[in-house]
Amino acid sequence: MRIYDETLKSRLMLGTARYPSPQILKQAILASGAEIVTVSLRREAAGERAGQKFWDLIRETGVKVLPNTAGCHSVREAVTTAQMAREVFRTNLVKLEVIGDADTLQPDLFGLVEATRILTEDGFQVLAYTTEDLVAADRLVEAGCRVLMPWGSPIGSARGLNNVYGLRAMRARFPDLTLLVDAGIGVPSHAAQAMELGYDGVLLSSAVALAGNPVTMARGFRLAVEAGRLAFEADPLQPRDMAEASTPVLGQALLGGAVFA
Cα torsion 14, 44, 209, 11 to 10°: value is 0
Tell me if 35 sits within 8 A of 64, measured CB to CB.
yes
Task: Tell whether residue 206 is among the known ligand binding residues.
Answer: yes
Task: Tell whether residue 205 is among the known ligand binding residues.
Answer: yes
Partners of 126 in beta bridges: 94
Q: Say what angle helices 49-61 and 22-32 make with each other, to 10 degrees.
A: 20
DSSP 258: -
Catalytic, 26? Answer: no
Task: Tell whether residue 45 is among the known ligand binding residues.
Answer: no
Cα torsion 71, 86, 210, 230 to 10°: value is 120
Catalytic residue among 9, 53, 64, 95: 95
Task: Tell whether residue 156 is among the known ligand binding residues.
Answer: yes
Alpha carbon separation from 230 to 11, 83, 166 (Å, rounded): 12, 38, 22
> What residue ranges in 109-243 does DSSP mark as E strands?
125-130, 147-150, 178-182, 201-204
DSSP 257: S
Alpha carbon separation from 122 to 102, 105, 170, 223 (Å, rounded): 28, 26, 27, 38
CA distance 137 to 143: 10
Among all residues, which ones are annotated catalytic? 95
Binding residues for 1-deoxy-D-xylulose 5-phosphate: 156, 183-184, 205-206
Binding residues: 156, 183-184, 205-206
